[in-house]
Chains A and B, each alone.
Chain A
């Protein structure tokens, strides 16, 4: 995701992240960079093209309608939110110049920037914000991102450059939710069915880049938008090249035909330490705001017993998964927050690798190998289940393979099934036709995770697809989002983590590091807790180093 903006871009996506998708974020960036060339010793200059490799093709460039990272990468270049995160994780204005929050926190009044124009020359106004808002909350709009906006009781256009949102109840993530991309050009879309509109393939935005050409299966070419309200981007052209095979993509990188991609852990640790690489590329490494987990379908009879879930946790060695799958480029996850952020609770129950304990717990829960076939059984049913994950993500497949091997040692037979993303979500997750899944959540900077853990969010298409329900958690979630007091929120979220660590509806696996690589000719990259691409319009290639001549 581009500017790390969707507050709770609840995408399970990390999957596709291997492509480029730099979900930046978090602590001590300066130390985590391995190779940073003596950046800013060159004068910024306009020109050149940045060619980014991606395995996936965008499906729809209307941000709210898409749920794949490729679409969000591109839509993020063409649209902005009202606010965004600063490098120090504070909230600053984007399309909004400033804002007021009423003393009870219920009313936010945004004053929008003046002089911002859509790429077709029409001025951007509060009507566009209202139109986008109306679209996202419209029940006919198929989007996964409406929940935050449904909290808004009233949205109104005060004047051309003032927009006001009024909430029914205090809603802690209210301000940051407007970092999501909602604005849409009213003058182009009013009265049209946006799901059918050509706009999704050929949108008009107001962000730093505008679409020049989209050749299906080959590439998307974006040219810089010279009237961009924060100033013309230095790099004239952004090319999103589609290369479905990762090994091929890496060869293209080495041959210099692409400038930027996300490296796999193996590529990062083993294939990019040559002099050739150090001279021609800059590598980055930073933890992402995301974690990977194995979720249990709690409706399934095997997993209703807490002891079984705990036993599985004891039977698996997380550090082994991080060592082997991530080559150490990540840290163990203990709950739904990432280390070194304020809601993260470091003191929760941890499950050290202990297969004996795992067997004990399983026996206690009634699972024993009565027929001596090496497989545990209970009431004549053998302990056998399938872990589903999305296709094309070697990391998850490998994690699943390690789990499969470890569980076999305690007498549980695991099958692995990798499915294409949309099939996986539509046919298996949404219909709850699964036993266990390995997926990842990309989490926002606000700790509100109502959608994932609240017992009311278990319907089809909602995010609590494992059917978790705990009245105490429900209450704490409600409490956490209804107060602006950070200490109180912290208390609520700390407690939630304790409960989740005890009950283990998910087996939290790891927090991966993002490892993007960019051609050395691009300067001005300033890694920050929110990643590297947040200031892409300020990247540049010094005059002498420019490689591509761009005629727009």
Chain B
């Protein structure tokens, strides 16, 4: 098992290198040199100063050498300074140690995605299983339509409708942001509720949109398992239907879902751009969009790399989960 993990960890390295290579390529798609933005800020910059800057970013060297040098820096987690006027180190903008953990961009995005994720699983597995056991029933059709509506509804529009209803009309939930103005003055429980209430709408929107994938997958996976011999055998042995479904079939039907989970991480991180923009949540997605629009290249590179890294971690966790769940693989190790 440990051996397998170590092997998997090593396998991540070339993938990560590939991700950075693609990111690097994208940056070089943009017209002009990446340092243009920086030097243009200063009309009086001398040719020497420009050259110095270019040296600093190694722009005088061939692209592949530049890439190597950049890679060398990021191994030390040094992504350089942001090109925006605040000139802060890129890592500091994503993970600001001066702010509480709950207010750091990377943490915010991760937290929202993890919560969403847990909710999606908690809802879509039962939906998938029950749809499969009641295949082609009215219930099945209703569920199919519901989860697809969630998928098909443009999230920014749905979000605004809910904001109007729960935020303005009913006044039950805050509309946007992460916490209230009087947050600091609240008692601990108040603080917790304040944070939670701000997350309800974004998490709901995000989870509703994500139900379709997992629940449909679960449904078809379950359908397939139900027809397998061992299920038939279990039934034939006279085991109660509930036990057949939930003990024998479900366990096996869940296995492929674990792989799917690992693959869904990049989609969720990508989706956070929209979610964070509409709800004014200062997470990584919002920062990425801003950086792209202002051509803040070091920032863009950094977030792309982190996004890829997170997916790899997700895949790794999925693998481990798969191993723990599947006795056949466990035995092989």
Q: Give A residues with C-beta under 8 Å from B.
A: 49, 51, 59-60, 65-66, 139-140, 142, 195-196, 200-201, 215-219, 239, 241-245, 247-248, 251-252, 254-255, 257, 391, 420-423, 426-427, 430, 459-462, 548-549, 551
Distance (whole angstroms) from the CB of A61 to the closest CB of chain B: 10
Question: Which residues of B sit under 8 angstroms from A51, Cβ to Cβ?
Answer: 181
Are B280's CB and A426's CB within 8 A?
no
Tell whether A216 pairs with B93 under 8 Å between CB atoms, given A59-B85, A248-B163. Answer: yes
Residues 170-198 of chain B, each 1 if its beta carbon lies under 8 Å from chain A, else 0: 01001111110110010000000000000
A255 pairs with B167, CB closer than 8 A: yes
Kindly report which residue of chain B lies nearest to residue A248, judged by CB atoms: B176
Please list the 8 inter-chain residue pairs (A to B) with the smallest Cβ-Cβ separation, ordered nearest first.
A217-B282, A461-B43, A420-B293, A59-B85, A142-B42, A426-B40, A243-B280, A139-B44
Establish whether residues A422 and B37, one from each chain, have CB atoms under 8 Å apart when the complex forms.
yes
Q: A59-B84, A195-B87, A248-B163 are in contact. Are A243 and B181 (CB under 8 A)?
A: no
Q: CB distance B278 to A420 under 8 Å? A: no
A201 to B86, CA, bound (A): 8
> When the two chains form their complex, are residues A248 and B175 in contact, meaning their CB atoms are under 8 A apart?
yes
B86's contact among A59, A142, A257, A461, by CB below 8 Å, is which?
A: A59
A65 in contact with B85 given A216-B282, A248-B279, A548-B181 (CB within 8 Å): yes
CB under 8 Å from chain A, chain B span 151-172: 160, 163-164, 167-168, 171
Given contacts A244-B277, A248-B160, A248-B278, whether A255 and B294 have CB atoms under 8 Å apart is: no
Query: Would B31 and A427 count as touching, CB distance under 8 A?
Result: yes
B146 CB to nearest A CB, Å: 27
Min C-beta distance of A256 to chain B, whole Å: 9
A246 to B37 Cα, complex, angstroms: 28
A contact residues around B84 at 8 Å (CB)? 59, 422
Contact with A along B74-90 (1 / 0, CB 8 A): 00000000001111100
| In contact, A461 and B93 (Cβ under 8 angstroms) | no
Residues of chain A within 8 A (CB-CB) of B163 are 248, 251
Which B residues are CB-close (under 8 A) to A243? 176-177, 280
Could you say which residues of chain B place their CB within 8 Å of the CB of A49? Answer: 181
Q: Are A245 and B278 in contact (CB under 8 A)?
A: yes
Q: Is the CB of B176 within 8 A of A252?
A: yes
Q: What are 26 A-B interface contacts by the 8 Å CB criterion?
A: A51-B181, A59-B85, A140-B42, A195-B87, A216-B96, A216-B99, A217-B105, A217-B287, A218-B103, A218-B178, A243-B176, A244-B277, A244-B286, A245-B176, A248-B160, A248-B163, A248-B176, A252-B175, A422-B84, A423-B294, A426-B36, A427-B40, A459-B43, A460-B40, A548-B181, A549-B185
Closest to B280 in A: A243
Q: From DSSP, what is the main secondary structure of chain B's interface residues? A: loop
Residues of A contacting B277 in the complex (Cβ-Cβ under 8 angstroms): 244-245
The complex places the Cα of A474 from the Cα of B164 at a distance, in Å, of 55
Which of chain B's residues 102-117 have a Cβ closer than 8 Å to chain A?
A: 103, 105
Size range of the interface on B? 35 or more
Known: A216-B96, A255-B168. A60 touches B86 (CB 8 A): yes
Within 8 A of A (CB), among B257-313: 277-280, 282-283, 286-287, 293-295
B190 to chain A, nearest CB (A): 14
Q: Is B240 an interface residue (CB 8 A)?
A: no
CB neighbours (8 Å) of A142 from chain B are: 41-44
A195 vs B44: C-alpha distance in the bound complex, in angstroms?
14
Is B68 at the interface (CB under 8 A from chain A)? no
Query: Which B residues are CB-close (under 8 A) to A245?
Result: 176, 277-278, 280
B32 at the interface (CB under 8 A from A): yes
Q: Which residues of A contact B178 (CB under 8 A)?
A: 218
Complex CA–CA separation, A422 to B294 (angstroms): 6
B280 near A242 with CB under 8 A, answer yes
CB contact under 8 A between A218 and B282, given known A251-B163, A422-B37, A460-B43: yes
Nearest-neighbour CB distance to chain A for B177, whole angstroms, equals 7
The interface centre, meaning the residue of A217, A252, A461 with most chain B CB atoms within 10 A of its CB, is A217
Q: How far is the CA of A201 from the CA of B32 in the complex (A)?
A: 29
Complex Cα spacing A423 to B278, Å: 23
Given A216-B96, A242-B280, A551-B185, A60 and B171 touching (CB < 8 A)?
no
Residues of B within 8 A of A65 (CB): 85
| A257 in contact with B182 (CB, 8 Å) | no
Q: Indicate if the CB atoms of A241 and B177 lie closer than 8 Å.
A: yes
Chain A residues with Cβ under 8 A from B37's Cβ?
Answer: 422-423, 426-427
A157 to B31 alpha-carbon distance, docked (Å): 48
B292 to chain A, nearest CB (A): 9
- Would A66 and B85 be within 8 Å (CB), given that A251-B164, A426-B36 are in contact? yes
B160 A427 Cβ-Cβ under 8 A: no
What A residues does B177 contact at CB under 8 A?
218-219, 241, 243
Closest residue of chain A to B159, judged by CB? Answer: A248
Considering the complex, give the chain B residue whose CB is closest to the CB of A59.
B85
Contact A244 B43 (CB under 8 A): no
Which residues of chain A come closer than 8 Å to B36, judged between CB atoms? 426-427
Most buried by B among A60, A251, A391: A251
User: What is the minimal beta-carbon distance from A218 to any residue of chain B, in angstroms?
Assistant: 5
Given contacts A200-B86, A257-B174, 8 further A-B contacts (CB under 8 A): A59-B85, A215-B99, A216-B105, A218-B103, A218-B178, A422-B84, A427-B37, A460-B43
- The smallest C-beta distance from A210 to any residue of chain B, in angstroms, reads 17
Cα distance A423–B177 in the bound complex, in angstroms: 27
Residues on A with C-beta less than 8 A from B295 are 420, 422-423, 427
